[in-house]
Amino acid sequence: MLGDVNPELQQRLNNTSAEVKELYALAKELLEFAQRGKFDLFQPGGSPAFQFILGNLASNSPIRIFYAHSERVSVEKTLPDGRVEKTSVFKHRGWICLGGRVTLQSDPHCNLPQVGEIQEYLGYRMKVTEVWGGYEGLPNEIILERAD
């Protein structure tokens, strides 16, 4: 758990600021911490505004962020006095993984990697999943996804 290895960072996540500049700084710090330790992030916490910024910064990053996915199951029960009691239970259905995907651009005259090739990127094993050749002088685009 983050609180065990970096309690100060966990405390800042528990009490996220309302200042956008501070939210960006916190998201960047969390992603850098995860990258240094080769950690994936599970339910990282923070305000909805922080989550939006974190997802935005992680969208072109090898860091994976996992969010719990649940299903709401509601049951209505008629009580003896005629009132209706409604109970909702959230059942865990799995994890949704965001991130772990990087788009790189290269010179249109470079040799392109092959789809399926494994490459190292920022210390992560990444698999080439798509390659787009540059046309009329435009840069090549290479899509890498985490291979582990």
Q: Is 31 among the domain residues?
A: yes
Q: Is 51 among the domain residues?
A: yes
Give the rounded distance of the alpha carbon of 80 from its chain centre.
Answer: 48
Handedness of CA 93, 89, 45, 1 (dihedral sign): negative
Task: Please indicate whether residue 30 or residue 123 has the higher confidence score (pLDDT).
Answer: 30
Q: Is 145 among the domain residues?
A: no
Q: Is 98 among the domain residues?
A: no
Element containing residue 126 per DSSP (H, E) = strand 124-132
Q: Is 67 among the domain residues?
A: no
Task: Please count the structural domains in the chain.
Answer: 1
Q: Is 13 among the domain residues?
A: yes
Q: What is the pLDDT of residues 80-131, one digit of tens each?
A: 999 999 999 999 898 888 888 888 887 776 777 889 989 888 888 888 888 8
Judged on CB neighbours under 10 Å (0-12, 13-18, 19+), 31 is: buried
